[in-house]
Every structure is written in C-alpha cells, then in structure tokens.
Amino acid sequence: MGILEDPAWRAAIRRRLEIDLLLGVGYVPLKLTPAGGSGPSPATRWRQDRPSAVPAASGTASARPAPPARSGVRPEMVQAVTAEELQERMQALKALDENRVRVCRSCKLWETRTRTVFGQGHAAARLVFVGEGPGYEEDQQGLAFVGKAGQLLTRMIEAMGLSRDEVFICNVVKCRPPDNRTPAPDEIAACWPYLDEQLRIIRPEVIVALGKPAAQTLLRTQESIGRMRGHWFEYYTSGSPNVGPPTPLMPTYHPAYLLRSPAEKAKAWSDLKQVMARLGLPVPR
Ligand code: URA
C-alpha cells in the first residue's frame, strides 16, 4: 500500500498541509513522475504548485476554499450594510479615535506611548480580532499588529480566505505597556470602554480573542486560555441602551505565543476553522 492509501499517513499529511497554510506556505513540493512512467526516476524533481496546495473544502466534494485574499474588500466578505450605514460607522470609529482615544490620559500608559493604536480594518467587518496591546512596532506606527506577531496574524487571516482589509483588528489596550509587559488590571479597566464601543459600532458576527488578556477581558473571567480556546463563548457589550444580542466569541492562542510555540499552531488553526464554519466560509477538510 502506498502512503497515500494509508489513512494515518493521509491524516498526517493533511495536518501538515493545514499548518503550512497557516504559516503562509502557499505551495506543495510535488514529486513529478515522467509522462508514461510508473515510478520515481532520476528525472524526479520538485515543483511549486500553488493552487493544488489548497486542500478541498468540506461540504460538496468539489468545493474549494476561497483563494486567500491579500488585500481589497469583497462585498460578500463583510456585512451587507447600506453605504449610509457604513459611512456612519466609519465616522463613529473616527470620532472615538480622535476625540477620546488619542487624547486619553486615563491610565499611566499615556506617559510612555509614542502613539495610541486604535486598530484598523473594515467598519462593517464580520470578524473582529482582539489582541492584548501594542508592541514596539505598533507604538511607532500607530497601527495594530504590524510587527512579527502581526505578520503571523496576517497569514492566519489569509489562510482563512480573508484579507486584513475585510476584518477589523484591535487590542484590549490602546497604548503600549512598557517592555511589552502584560497590561495591568487598572490599565485594562481604563481602556475597556473604548474596546466595548468599537465592538458596539462594528457589531461583528464573530470575535476572535487572541490570547489570555483579550479572552479574560472580553469574557470577564480568570479562566486559562488553554481551557477556553477552541470553545464558543458569548460576548455581551457593557453599554446601554444598545445592548444587542451577544456576539459569538472564540478564544485562541496569541500569534506571539504561536511564534514561541509553533507546535500549538495546529490548535489555533483548528480554532480558526471553527470560526470559518460559523461565518459560512469554506473550511478545508
Ligand atoms: N500584540 C498584540 O497583542 N497587539 C498588537 O497590536 C501587536 C502585538
């Protein structure tokens, strides 16, 4: 029996391909068999084959995941809102950023920040990622997730068949904690209204909490990320009077943790596949 007939090998290869996808490897090295030949020959060589690297999607046998989007916004990947509604949301986010976040001095982090990092993305995103807080690069540029962890997050988003422009990315705290330490409870409490307001404006269909501080803050719990990840929770905004229905929330590992512990990437990918299924995106088998 060839290895492709062996279910254990097939499962192992599939797992490997999915993790590669998450890592941003967009090709599979294939052994080429010469035309008419029946086995490997000295002419065997490696070939980069991008499309066939994407495993077939579940559902119909022929379905394939959407090709990973690198940029741009496809209307079907964001909420169907009117142009007016979109404009209102963009203005509300802008006002929140300019009038409240940028001038915020509610905790001591303002003293050491270079820039506030409001977050960026689509005002009608179906999916919002919430991280912990800006790091060095983010503090310098004023943009969320643009450092090494951000690059991995981009690959995770693209592996889901989405682009960064189609989602919204932000953090629990909007100013960099010195030396990238975990934000303190008083800093999280001071910044909390901004995140809550962002989520009330965007009203996403799903929230992904990246790492322990994000998951614990959004779910108001002390539970460990290892126990929460991979399970669905509900996020209730704290605001009133517009307290709508709760938003499904999936906790998963933070990309910075995944860079330190690559073996955990398979778990993060499995969490993201649950999110894709919830959003009706094609899920690799
Ligand atoms: N880590 C985070 O949690 N957020 C960022 O924006 C960057 C790194």
pLDDT tens-digit series, residues 219-255? 999 999 999 999 999 999 876 555 678 999 999 999 9
Residues 6+ apart with CB under 8 A from 217: 172, 188, 192, 195
One-letter amino acid identity for 195? Answer: L
Q: What is the model's pLDDT at position 68? A: 56
Q: What is the model's pLDDT at position 46? A: 24
Q: What is the model's pLDDT at position 6? A: 78
| Angle, CA 181 vertex, CA 143 and CA 106 arms, to 5° | 70
pLDDT bucket at 174, cuts 50 / 70 / 90:
very high
Give the distance (Å) from ligand 1 centre to CA of residue 145: 5
Is residue 98 pLDDT above 90, yes or no?
Answer: yes
Ligand 1 site, residue 253, Cβ cutoff 6 A: no
Taking alpha carbons only, the member of 275, 98, 273, 100 closest to residue 204 is 275
Fold of 75-279: Uracil-DNA Glycosylase, subunit E (3.40.470)
Kindly report the average pLDDT of the chain as a whole number.
Answer: 85
Read off the pTM. 0.81
Does the N-terminal peptide bond of residue 241 adopt cis geometry, omega within 30 degrees of 0? yes
CA distance 277 to 181: 34
Give the DSSP H or E segment for 93.
helix 83-95
Q: Which of left, alpha, beta for 102 (phi over 0: left; psi -120 to 50: alpha)?
A: alpha
Ligand 1 site, residue 144, Cβ cutoff 6 A: yes
Give how far the C-alpha of residue 256 lies from the chain's centroid of Cα atoms, to the nearest Å. Answer: 12
Residues 6+ apart with CB under 8 A from 100: 194
Coil, strand or helix at 208: strand
Ligand 1 site, residue 132, Cβ cutoff 6 A: yes
The domain locations on the chain are 3-49, 75-279
Coil, strand or helix at 247: strand
Give me 189's structure tokens.
């409490």
Instruction: Considering only residues 112 and 12, tell me which one the structure prediction assigns the higher pLDDT.
Output: 112
Q: What is the model's pLDDT at position 23? A: 59
Mean pLDDT of 198-202: 96
Instruction: Considering only residues 84 and 32, tell me which one the structure prediction assigns the higher pLDDT.
Output: 84
Q: What is the model's pLDDT at position 61? A: 32
Instruction: Considering only residues 251 and 5, tell me which one the structure prediction assigns the higher pLDDT.
Output: 251
pLDDT bucket at 196, cuts 50 / 70 / 90:
very high
- Name which residue sits closest to atom 7 of ligand 1, judged by CA: 145
CA distance 248 to 137: 30
Ligand 1 site, residue 281, Cβ cutoff 6 A: no
Give me 55's structure tokens.
């495993």
| Residue 210 Cα: closest atom of ligand 1 | 3
Give me 112's structure tokens.
């050491």
Give me 150's structure tokens.
């951000």
pLDDT tens-digit series, residues 113-170? 999 999 999 999 999 999 999 999 999 999 999 999 999 999 999 999 999 999 999 9
CA distance 168 to 170: 7
Mean pLDDT of 65-81: 81
